[in-house]
């Protein structure tokens, strides 16, 4: 029987198992013996492993960190990496977030598209292959993650105990294919000031996360004659079309700047309230000594740029475009400043190409790098066997060309060697991950099952 016809016959079962998995509220909880991420996540893992057993697959539970379903024989292994854990449901739902209800051809629930529906899709794609008698030349392993939403610690544990896929994909991104993901860094620039110096700026605070363009920044100034600054706030905000205001709180004049947020991977789409505040402070020229020098340094070398050119760290390639540079947080007191940065560098460049000139630049003004978190780029050349097979099958199953996507963000694929993000969100469809009223369309669940089944077949032949 043709593979796609077999999948059509499995539609009712596929829908039912997706609903059952959605009904398990698999949010990370308190660690328990054999349940490193809590009881609810473990319930989802046990459910899926039991489903795999019923469908005739070899299964393994790796100490509650991960599990897998396996089919076939061979030295090489095709991996399909999905995750069973979910983010909290939040507010604003029209339907029970753990009901798995069907309305207008859509299955609603937290995790429907991220990743419970896609995991069931891959399991039933593999089951359809088994049922039509397909004998792969490689082992096929569906890997069940349990900690993607809060750190992906389970993948590191898995890799200490088990082998990485020879080739694989994760249904935890977008169709057609994400072939390039920039190198990702989050870190702090820290500087201590000379305590003997006096500066009217008592504090600066802005932003909540390094990987978001900050939409608010506040500056506290202790100064007797406030009127000249108040007049400049009014004239400057008008002349520069920025949202700058003030209030007086006891002895302090508090400056408030409102920008608008954007993701740290696309800082050019936002309006950075921290940098606008520093530019205005530099314009006021009320700080002498180290504080004034530091503010001037940041304004002259970052300003409103989002590509690192003036900072000397600009990089660009054909595969993924320009480096992005985001100042996401600031905390400044009278004796220190901490800036939270999020820099993402092109996939064919190196961490050292970015950090060496950055270290050189900040040394002159006394900043130090602290709390560095780094993920290397993910990059598959367009003629890589994995990319060519995914593109071929996608075209055959949808009739559309497989556009290769390069992103500044990071997907689950970065956690597992030899893996690329492939679906489940189709072009032109909303990205409902982590949103209220998350759903997966039944029609698209069936379409992705056919894509995934045919890809697994070709990768394992």
In this structure, what CATH number is given to the domain that contains residue 7? Answer: 3.40.630.10
Same structural domain for residues 147 and 234?
Answer: no
What is the DSSP-derived secondary structure letter of residue 35? Answer: B
Same structural domain for residues 176 and 313?
Answer: no
Same structural domain for residues 210 and 336?
Answer: yes
Domain boundary among 341, 373, 405: 373
Q: What average pLDDT does range 34-48 have in this prediction?
A: 97
Contacts for 138 with CB less than 8 Å, ≥ 6 apart = 72, 74, 75, 76, 77, 78, 166, 459, 460
Of 286 and 80, the structure prediction assigns the larger pLDDT to 80
Whether 196 has a pLDDT exceeding 60, the answer reads no
Q: What is the pLDDT of residues 321-333, one digit of tens each?
A: 999 999 999 999 8
Give the residue numbers spanning the domain of 136: 3-181+378-460
C-alpha–C-alpha distance, residues 78 and 429, integer Å: 28
Q: What is the pLDDT of residues 269-305, one digit of tens each?
A: 999 999 999 999 999 988 878 888 999 999 999 999 9
Q: What is the helix (H) or strand (E) element at residue 106, kind and residue range?
A: strand 106-108
Backbone angles phi, psi at 396, to 5 degrees: -65, -40
Domain boundary among 335, 352, 373: 373
What is the DSSP-derived secondary structure letter of residue 196? Answer: T
Total number of residues shown for the chain: 461
C-beta separation of 100 from 116 below 8 A: no
Q: What is the pLDDT of residues 201-212, one digit of tens each?
A: 999 999 988 989
Same structural domain for residues 84 and 174?
Answer: yes
Same structural domain for residues 166 and 19?
Answer: yes
Same structural domain for residues 285 and 297?
Answer: yes
Same structural domain for residues 207 and 221?
Answer: yes
Same structural domain for residues 174 and 188?
Answer: no
Strand, coil or helix: 162: coil
The CATH number linked to 195 is: 3.30.70.360
Same structural domain for residues 244 and 107?
Answer: no
Q: What is the helix (H) or strand (E) element at residue 441, kind and residue range?
A: strand 439-441
Strand pairing class (167-170; 316-317): unpaired
pLDDT in the model for residue 194: 73
Residue 292: CA count within 13 A, CB half-sphere: 11
Strand, coil or helix: 83: strand
Q: Picking from 58-67, 117-126, 189-198, 267-276, which range would have the lowest pLDDT averaged per residue?
A: 189-198
C-alpha–C-alpha distance, residues 182 and 352, integer Å: 14
Same structural domain for residues 400 and 305?
Answer: no
C-beta separation of 50 from 118 below 8 A: no
From the list 419, 441, 443, the residue with the least C-alpha distance to 432 is: 441
Among candidate residues 85, 89, 172, 438, the one labeled active-site is 85
What is the DSSP-derived secondary structure letter of residue 414? Answer: G
pTM over 0.75: yes
Number of domains within the chain: 2
Same structural domain for residues 349 and 426?
Answer: no
CA separation (Å) from 79 to 10, 76, 86, 170, 250? 23, 10, 21, 8, 62
Is-catalytic flag, 225?
no
Is-catalytic flag, 148?
yes
How far from chain centre, in Å, is Cα 159?
Answer: 21
From the list 372, 330, 359, 322, the residue with the least C-alpha distance to 203 is: 330
Q: What is the pLDDT of residues 229-258, one digit of tens each?
A: 988 989 998 999 899 999 998 889 999 999
Residue 249 is encoded by which pair of tokens? 């709180």
Same structural domain for residues 132 and 32?
Answer: yes
Strand, coil or helix: 252: strand
pLDDT in the model for residue 263: 86
Domain boundary among 320, 345, 373: 373
pLDDT in the model for residue 409: 79
Among candidate residues 40, 89, 148, 317, the one labeled active-site is 148
């Amino acid at each position: 029987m043709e593979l796609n016809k077999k999948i059509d016959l499995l539609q009712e079962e596929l829908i039912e198992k997706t609903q059952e998995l959605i009904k398990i509220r698999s949010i990370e909880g308190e660690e328990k013996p054999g349940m490193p991420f809590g009881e609810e996540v473990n319930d989802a893992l046990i459910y899926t492993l039991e489903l795999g057993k019923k469908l005739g697959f070899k299964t393994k539970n790796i100490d509650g960190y991960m599990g897998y379903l396996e089919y076939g024989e061979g030295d090489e292994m095709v991996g399909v990496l999905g995750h069973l854990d979910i983010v909290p449901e939040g507010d604003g739902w029209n339907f029970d977030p753990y009901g798995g209800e069907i309305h207008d051809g859509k299955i609603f629930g937290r995790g429907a598209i991220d990743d419970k529906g896609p995991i069931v899709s891959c399991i039933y794609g593999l089951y359809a292959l088994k049922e039509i008698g397909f004998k792969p030349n490689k082992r096929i392993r569906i890997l069940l993650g349990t900690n993607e939403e809060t750190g992906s610690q389970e993948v590191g544990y898995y890799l200490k105990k088990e082998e990485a896929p020879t080739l694989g994909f994760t249904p935890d991104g977008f169709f057609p294919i994400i072939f390039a993901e920039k190198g990702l860094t989050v870190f702090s620039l820290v500087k201590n000031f000379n305590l003997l110096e006096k500066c009217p700026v008592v504090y600066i605070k802005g932003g909540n996360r390094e990987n978001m363009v900050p939409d608010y920044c506040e500056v506290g100034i202790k100064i007797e004659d406030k009127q000249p600054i108040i007049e400049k706030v009014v004239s400057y905000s008008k002349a520069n079309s920025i949202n700058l205001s003030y209030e007086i709180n006891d002895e302090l004049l508090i400056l408030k700047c409102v920008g608008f947020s954007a993701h740290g991977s696309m800082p050019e789409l936002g309006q950075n309230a921290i940098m606008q505040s520093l530019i205005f402070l530099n314009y006021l020229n009320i700080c002498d000594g180290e504080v004034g020098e530091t503010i001037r340094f940041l304004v002259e070398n970052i300003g409103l740029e989002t590509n690192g050119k003036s900072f000397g760290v600009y990089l660009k390639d054909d595969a993924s475009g320009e480096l992005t540079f985001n100042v996401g947080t600031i905390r400044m007191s009278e004796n220190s400043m901490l800036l939270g940065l999020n820099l993402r560098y092109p996939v064919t460049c190196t961490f050292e190409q970015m950090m060496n000139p950055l270290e050189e630049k900040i040394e002159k003004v006394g900043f130090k790098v602290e709390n560095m978190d780094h993920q290397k780029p993910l990059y598959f050349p367009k003629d890589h066997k994995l990319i060519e097979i995914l593109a071929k099958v996608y075209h055959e199953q949808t009739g559309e060309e497989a556009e290769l996507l390069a992103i500044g963000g990071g997907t689950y694929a970065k956690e597992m060697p030899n893996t690329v993000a492939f679906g489940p969100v189709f072009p032109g469809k909303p990205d409902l991950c982590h949103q209220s009223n998350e759903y997966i369309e039944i029609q698209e669940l069936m379409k992705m099952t056919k894509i995934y089944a045919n890809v697994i077949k070709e990768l394992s032949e």
